[in-house]
Amino acid sequence: MAGQEDLFKKIISHSKEYGFIYPSSEIYDGLSAVYDYGVYGVELKNNIKQYWWKAMTQMHENIVGIDSAIFMHPKIWKASGHVDAFNDPLIDNKDSKNRYRADQLVEGYMEKLEEKANKEVKKAAKRFGEDFDEAMYRETNPRVVRYTEQKNEIAGRLASLLTEGDLEGLKALIEELEIACPASGSRNWTDVRQFNLMFSTQLGVIGGEESKLYLRPETAQGIFVNFLNVQKTSRQKLPFGIAQIGKAFRNEIVARQFIFRMREFEQMEMQFFVPPGTEMEWYDYWKVERMKWHKALGTPEDKLRFHDHDNLAHYANAAVDVEFEFPFGFRELEGIHSRTDFDLRQHQELSGKKLMYFDPERNESYIPFVVETSIGCDRMFLSVLSQAYTEEAVSDGKGGSSERTVLKIPAPLAPVKCAILPLVKNKEELTEKAKTIFNNLKFAFACQYDDKDAIGRRYRRQDAIGTPYCVTVDFESLDDQCVTIRERDSLIQERVPISEVEGIIAKRVDMRTLLNS
Ligand code: ATP
């Protein structure tokens, strides 16, 4: 685990040093859990959004997009249940004065049990070598069975306490498990209280409840309240979906782990409207589709998994998370929820406006059911970054080797696709030729021209920001009109005619390679 923590720290400092992510308001000592995207960060983030947007809208004739406002009528949050129920259970340690999410303290305890079981399995795998049957061992080894049973039992109890909103029971569970504050080591806890995660502000100059507004905690409600507008103007028939990318705000009790849990973040959400009774079919469909989207990035199978919710939100009849193995363990990256007709029905009731759909095939009007896919853009960014970050030794071609840090970002998502490098900078013929190539290529994709420092250092700089291709212009180029393309991960160098460079690179960085897999 220490190795992974170390890796996470390296990713954070690399992000800052190479212009991916800066702490917000840094010269004023920062603002907790708020971050700014830097020069390469914004490009990577935009590419992730584009990959999602194209996969949703361009690749599905029956999904259209919108961009709704962050401010919405306050009644929307009453109808959606957020005013009354968008709470997290809060607990304070009286000695350290640290504040925690009570459910996360219990989850932390469960994670330790899982770690203990995994440790036993790992030890046994080493002992038995090739003959090791992991599934059998997990089922029969008394210690592993005990840890797993204990964990499952606690998960069940936690889920029902959360569903029932039993705060006293939650505190009793923390006491029973003898969970101590990680900071003070003490078990001197306050009672558990509910804490609403919505930020509020005020519209206009007159204060008071009347003009109270919320910063949206999810983008989905902007889709629900526009459901009929979109359906009519796009002339879509059910089933159809509405996609949206936008900011969301949550006053998280404990915001940490870099951009994993922020107070201002971005969501990519799609609500798929279906006839009642067909929602489970579509729920299964979207589980498969979304996993495909993640795996197209080349993420290894064992880094992604589904995790069914034990504790369903007030609006859902089925819910699953796509979890990714971040450097700090498996965590939710995306949620897929069957939201029933809860939201549309609530809005219909509170607004007094009909939100029904006339189904010509069934010859009846009804409120559609909804299957939602919801992914945090920032969490996706962190998963791409942690998957990409690599430290490795590379041969110097003279029998020795040197270390490099390289971001192996999938080429279509890379912030800069191609760097054009004259072999040396003080030869005008070379720099001019390189600049001409750059000035042509920049119309096709994001390029950089760089002639500072030795070529080796320039390669390292491009590796560090994840540029998949470097085009080197050397003296021979002046005669043979060819250049060398160096590929970031394999380090293979190909000699190609200048006239073919654009075509070769364009094909490899095309988002089609992801969308089509
Ligand atoms: P968690 O259990 O981690 O708090 P959640 O279940 O509340 O997440 P959802 O309400 O399902 O999350 O939100 C959908 C997606 O939005 C999540 O899968 C996640 O990727 C992203 N997300 C939610 N909260 C945050 C946050 N505070 N910072 C960054 N991304 C977030």
Q: Are 193 and 167 in contact (CB under 8 A)?
A: yes
Question: Ligand 1 in contact with 335 (CB < 6 A)?
Answer: yes
> What are the backbone dihedrals phi and psi of residue 403, each rounded to the nearest 5 degrees, phi first?
-90, 145
CA distances from 355 to 13, 239, 351 (A): 49, 15, 10
Q: With the C-alpha atoms ordered 423, 428, 433, 436, is the resulting torsion angle positive or negative?
A: positive
**Measured from the CA of 377, which atom of ligand 1 is nearest?**
20
Q: Are 70 and 227 in contact (CB under 8 A)?
A: no
Q: How far is the CA of 444 from the centre of ligand 1 (A)?
A: 35
What is the C-alpha to C-alpha distance for residues 184 and 172, in angstroms, rounded to an integer?
20
Question: Ligand 1 in contact with 222 (CB < 6 A)?
Answer: no
Question: Ligand 1 in contact with 103 (CB < 6 A)?
Answer: no
Question: Ligand 1 in contact with 250 (CB < 6 A)?
Answer: yes
Q: How far is the CA of 260 from the centre of ligand 1 (A)?
A: 9
What is the C-alpha to C-alpha distance for residues 332 and 18, in angstroms, rounded to an integer?
27
Q: Are 252 and 100 in contact (CB under 8 A)?
A: no
Question: Ligand 1 in contact with 378 (CB < 6 A)?
Answer: yes
For residue 36, what are the β-bridge partners? 22
**Single-letter code of the amino acid located at 71:** F
User: Which protein residue's CA is at the shortest distance from atom 2 of ligand 1?
Assistant: 332
Q: How far is the CA of 195 from the centre of ligand 1 (A)?
A: 16
The neighbour count for residue 461, using CB atoms within 10 Å, is: 17
User: Which protein residue's CA is at the shortest distance from atom 20 of ligand 1?
Assistant: 376
CA distances from 73 to 69, 221, 273 (A): 10, 11, 23
Question: Ligand 1 in contact with 45 (CB < 6 A)?
Answer: no
Question: Ligand 1 in contact with 368 (CB < 6 A)?
Answer: no
**Measured from the CA of 331, which atom of ligand 1 is nearest?**
3
**Single-letter code of the amino acid located at 501:** V
Coil, helix or strand for 89? Answer: strand
Check whether the bond before 275 is cis (ω within 30° of 0): no
Beta carbons within 8 Å of 472's beta carbon, 6+ residues apart: 421, 422, 423, 455, 483, 484, 486
Q: What's the full length of the chain, in residues?
A: 517
Q: How far is the CA of 381 from the centre of ligand 1 (A)?
A: 14
Q: How far is the CA of 376 from the centre of ligand 1 (A)?
A: 6
Give the pLDDT of the chain (517 residues) as one tens digit per residue: 557 789 999 999 999 999 999 999 999 998 989 999 999 999 999 999 999 999 999 999 999 999 999 999 999 999 999 998 899 999 999 999 999 999 999 999 999 999 999 999 999 988 888 888 888 999 999 999 999 999 999 999 999 998 888 999 999 999 999 999 988 899 999 999 999 999 999 887 666 666 789 999 999 999 999 999 999 999 999 999 999 999 999 999 887 789 999 999 999 999 999 999 999 999 999 999 999 999 999 999 999 999 998 777 777 789 999 999 999 999 999 999 999 999 999 999 999 999 999 999 999 999 999 999 999 999 999 999 999 999 999 887 777 888 999 999 999 999 999 999 999 888 899 999 999 999 999 999 999 999 999 999 999 999 999 999 999 999 999 999 999 999 999 999 999 999 999 999 999 999 999 999 7
What is the C-alpha to C-alpha distance for residues 92 and 9, in angstroms, rounded to an integer?
27
At 163 the pLDDT is: 85
User: Which protein residue's CA is at the shortest distance from atom 3 of ligand 1?
Assistant: 332
At 241 the pLDDT is: 98
Q: Are 4 and 327 in contact (CB under 8 A)?
A: yes
Question: Ligand 1 in contact with 107 (CB < 6 A)?
Answer: no
Question: Ligand 1 in contact with 336 (CB < 6 A)?
Answer: no
**Measured from the CA of 269, which atom of ligand 1 is nearest?**
14
At 256 the pLDDT is: 77
User: Which protein residue's CA is at the shortest distance from atom 31 of ligand 1?
Assistant: 376
- The pair of structure tokens assigned to 83 is 């005013």
**Measured from the CA of 374, which atom of ligand 1 is nearest?**
14
For residue 200, what are the β-bridge partners? 214
At 205 the pLDDT is: 66
Sheet with 193-196, strands from edge to edge, namely: 99-101, 87-92, 193-196
Beta carbons within 8 Å of 149's beta carbon, 6+ residues apart: none
